[in-house]
Structure 1
């Protein structure tokens, strides 16, 4: 990880791994004066030692269309969205960001920000975007003893953040299961993951942000906002607890400390993950799958979550994703993990698997069942570990307060077994939810969905642009059919509770696909949107940070 900032009041040193060829830079692997795996730095910093070197901050680097690097820097993980900005600015410090934002404001050019590149829509690549600020080189993770908080820069990928936090201090954040996702977008959107039922959302542990804002006079500047009651910038911090990226400011550093954590020992300021996990992957074949069997499995999964998602449940450390894929995939799977150190954990896992498959009339195949160290399981969790340069995708989301009604189950089976559509990479990832997440008040963070038991991620992948219309039609029709009773979207109500902003979906803006009468911002934020608009008016009065689903100025 890089030391990309020397302006926060705690100059940091980096260790270099080995030596580099003449004129090249050695690989940076340490943070805050400590190698991953070494004892954590103290409040006074690491001692001087052999192999230690101070390296200049990266950048800034400006890449224009004539530069050979340009094609690699104008798109993220989704090949549907390739931008044509006048330039991409790769930054290494918060001061670089201030300069880039000021340049965009002074020239009247629309800017956008990219950290990990996992944005689901064209918010960074739209035709109006003329300057992209690329945060990927701002990727340091470490501990700030002055603030008693860990810091994560936005370009850090989740897998790297987990490694550094755990190897250095034995702690973690309850973030997502895809290790290549950038922290910048994940945290600000209210990210969740395999430890969320046990420890809450990532933003429940967000102590502060360092961010670049633009005032009414058009001047860009750095500010720090924390959750301290006496902090006059506290509302700015609140707005970064789930509003999504590109909407208020450019975050240059996230400060992490759990509420109520006290003392000077860093190892007690964030959650400590399990030492080991029991992990399981089971697979059902579509060959003998009937509608009755399929709907029974989904019904059982939802009902189990209704019964076992209360805070303090013996199953709090169990996280599972049931992933019904389209019939053309040949099979679908369910991945599960549970803290191996929890009482009766192996039996709890067995009982869960039996409950999901109960009375289905079909058997599953056990593909994986083992006990594995937490960090290995987390950084190598089955998923999408690297972007395919040809991948195109579309996604949708839903929160559920209850298990699946019969009409929804029928719609799932209908569209996942359709023979007029072939989509082996078309799937719904249905995650266990609730637990500690549901102990936080809906207005305490921007994320208002605080009594759900399931979270759904609909997604379809393909490679060729010629197949765009076919895949888009399938997922839109599928989604509308599942939520036909509430206008084609999971409108807040008795069963469903809106959508997840990190799985951005601009279809929610269109009456063609959203017939509920509930606007996109209510589906994401519910009653918290009005306060978001107030914060927007204070901190981005010139509407510098905008895209199709950015917070709107009031009025």
Structure 2
């Protein structure tokens, strides 16, 4: 064989080039085969299912799909990619809005972590060891079953914990408990040189800081340590729904200004309350969690929530166990997800806006937004506006020195999401962002990385997701840990 000579167990980079150049695929096939690394190639019957992304609008063809069952498999695969000149990205759950878990381009190596399914809680410390291929619903189920433990996280049970927690991880417990990211106390990470290291507050702190915000640019996390907590005995769920706010500009603007005033009112709001606002051009629905009794909510919170705004057409307030609450907000019958054969997909484009707490959204912005939305959209869309800041928020309590996460000063985080079976909806979704940003030229808006927007060039993505200070620090660490940029996607650090 023309590429059968090996040095130290691997083809050297120089030798690969000198041997009349085996292709990257031939190079990978030889090295991965010599190490017995499980891998699927493009001609494998399973390739199509393994590469089908959550966002069907953005489909890429990896050169190889590694399906490791051990840390060593991951290490060998990363080294092989480096030897063969192939970029690498990990797939935890596969819900990347930009399909970056497929590489964000054709020809990358996907490392699919579906076999890393451990969920084990230390009964003395409450620390959960969690495989990087675990989906949120199975994580929540696992720690509940092992002593009624809980973590802050999102509501969609099919999302993988890897991307979710390393880019933030907001949920209705986050103003009380922090983001998923904030509960990471350690992680096993495979670096670009194939070494396996542990990152925590006491070991490899620079790496620990970087992976909480930009993990996909620094390595492959195979296992997390999360500090869980006792689940609350009960949670008060609330939902208010309006159907006429898009018919009246006055009512729309008045209602949203009041909700914003309420969210910043320290005499009523503390970190026990979290909520999000959903609207789709027809319905406005405000729902969330209150970590207090139904009686307290009805007597102290609800009257202030609804004071001076149009009466909702539907009001729902009730008490749930923590587990039943998770099922309720998942919009499913169970939070358990299949370990194989997961098959949820959409065809969409999404953007986000983070709104600084010091500015909020102005009356003129709500006026302009109503004008824009009231014209209608070419296809279905929705906007979800989540409260991050406000009095006592545990999200905003930490600073950029804690982790490589830039949204610690946000009052609101908006997700603007549209169906793109009709491509014209892409322009409509872009227009939502434009209206908000242009209405407040004095405000420096950002964006939330878990709603990653593939339309941004790398420089813009770095600016809106990290800001100059955090990105500058990340870039220096990238040069230290991955100078050859093995871990890459179109918006990765250093891209």
TM over 0.5: yes
CA distance 1:195–1:289, shift in 2 (3 Å)? same
Which of 418, 432, 436 pairs up with 1:478? 432
Aligned to 1:337: 289
Q: Which runs of 5+ in 1 are unaligned?
A: 1-58, 258-269, 488-492, 511-517
Are 1:412 and 2:364 counterparts?
no
User: Matched residues in 1 for 2:344 and 2:304: separation?
Assistant: 34
Aligned to 1:149: 127
Aligned to 2:475: 533
CA distance 1:277–1:95, shift in 2 (3 Å)? same
Which of 255, 270, 277 pairs up with 2:225? 255
Aligned to 1:99: 76
User: Matched residues in 1 for 2:121 and 2:301: separation?
Assistant: 35
Higher helix fraction (1 or 2): 2
Are 1:522 and 2:480 counterparts?
no
CA distance 1:148–1:433, shift in 2 (3 Å)? closer
After superposition, the CA RMSD in angstroms is: 2.7
Aligned to 1:433: 388
Aligned to 1:460: 418
Are 1:221 and 2:195 counterparts?
yes
- Asked if the contact 1:532–1:551 (Cα under 8 Å) also holds between the matched residues in 2, the reply is yes
Deviation at 1:522, TM superposition (A): 2.8
Are 1:240 and 2:217 counterparts?
no
Q: Secondary structure of 1:472's partner?
A: helix
Aligned to 2:30: none
Deviation at 1:415, TM superposition (A): 2.5
Aligned to 1:294: 252
Q: Which runs of 5+ in 2 are unaligned?
A: 1-35, 336-341
User: Matched residues in 1 for 2:290 and 2:189: separation?
Assistant: 36
Q: Secondary structure of 2:196's partner?
A: strand
Q: Secondary structure of 1:236's partner?
A: helix
Normalised by the size of structure 2, how large is the TM-score? 0.83
- Asked if the contact 2:53–2:99 (Cα under 8 Å) also holds between the matched residues in 1, the reply is no
Deviation at 1:278, TM superposition (A): 1.6
Aligned to 2:457: 509
User: Matched residues in 1 for 2:280 and 2:360: separation?
Assistant: 19
Deviation at 1:341, TM superposition (A): 4.2
Q: Secondary structure of 1:211's partner?
A: strand
Aligned to 2:305: 353
- Map 1:168-187 to 2 at 5 A: 168-187=146-165
Aligned to 2:230: 272
CA distance 1:318–1:387, shift in 2 (3 Å)? farther
- Map 1:129-144 to 2 at 5 A: 129-143=107-121
Deviation at 1:303, TM superposition (A): 1.7
Deviation at 1:542, TM superposition (A): 1.4
- Map 1:70-149 to 2 at 5 A: 70-125=47-102, 126-143=104-121, 149=127
- Asked if the contact 1:116–1:182 (Cα under 8 Å) also holds between the matched residues in 2, the reply is yes
- Asked if the contact 2:276–2:387 (Cα under 8 Å) also holds between the matched residues in 1, the reply is yes
- Asked if the contact 1:306–1:403 (Cα under 8 Å) also holds between the matched residues in 2, the reply is no
Deviation at 1:324, TM superposition (A): 1.9
Segment drifting more, 123-132 vs 520-529: 123-132
CA distance 1:90–1:348, shift in 2 (3 Å)? farther
Deviation at 1:134, TM superposition (A): 0.7
Aligned to 2:338: none
Q: Secondary structure of 1:414's partner?
A: helix
User: Matched residues in 1 for 2:71 and 2:356: separation?
Assistant: 39
- Asked if the contact 1:112–1:129 (Cα under 8 Å) also holds between the matched residues in 2, the reply is no
Aligned to 1:543: 485
Deviation at 1:413, TM superposition (A): 0.8
User: Matched residues in 2 for 1:524 and 1:297: separation?
Assistant: 29
Which of 164, 174, 177 pairs up with 1:196? 174
Deviation at 1:109, TM superposition (A): 1.7
Work out the number of aligned pairs and report it: 446
Aligned to 2:276: 321
- Asked if the contact 2:236–2:293 (Cα under 8 Å) also holds between the matched residues in 1, the reply is no
CA distance 1:155–1:377, shift in 2 (3 Å)? same
Segment drifting more, 343-352 vs 108-117: 343-352
Q: Secondary structure of 2:65's partner?
A: strand
User: Matched residues in 2 for 1:303 and 1:496: separation?
Assistant: 20
Deviation at 1:135, TM superposition (A): 1.0
Deviation at 1:280, TM superposition (A): 2.1
List per-residue Cα deviations over 1:270-293 (Å, max 9, x = no partner): 333322122122221148730111
- Asked if the contact 2:238–2:289 (Cα under 8 Å) also holds between the matched residues in 1, the reply is yes
User: Matched residues in 2 for 1:390 and 1:519: separation?
Assistant: 26
Aligned to 2:25: none
Deviation at 1:523, TM superposition (A): 2.0
CA distance 1:146–1:388, shift in 2 (3 Å)? closer
